Amino acid sequence: MPHIKVYIHFVWSTKNRVPHLKTPELRKQVWQHIAENARSKGIFVDFVNGYADHCHCLVSLGVDQTIQKVINLIKGESSHWINKNNLTSERFEWQNDYFAVSVSASNLNRVRDYIKNQEEHHRKKSFQEEYEVYIKNYNFKKFEDRKLG
Quote the pTM value.
0.87
Assess if residue 1 is contained within a domain. Answer: no
User: How many domains does one find in the chain?
Assistant: 1
CATH number of the domain bearing residue 69: 3.30.70.1290
Assess if residue 36 is contained within a domain. Answer: yes
The pLDDT averaged over each successive group of 10 residues in the chain (149 residues) is 91 95 97 97 96 96 96 98 97 95 96 92 80 79 51
pLDDT at 145: 45
Assess if residue 97 is contained within a domain. Answer: yes
**Residue 111: what are its φ and ψ, rounded to 5°?**
-70, -40
Angle, helices 67-84/24-40, rounded to nearest 10 degrees: 130
pLDDT at 16: 94
Query: What DSSP string runs through 48-60?
Result: EEEETTEEEEEEE
Domain that holds residue 115: 6-145
DSSP symbol at 99: E
Amino acid in the structure at residue 12:
W
pLDDT at 144: 53
Query: What DSSP string runs through 25-54?
Result: HHHHHHHHHHHHHHHHTT-EEEEEEEETTE
- Pick from 95, 115, 96: nearest CA to 27: 115
Assess if residue 14 is contained within a domain. Answer: yes
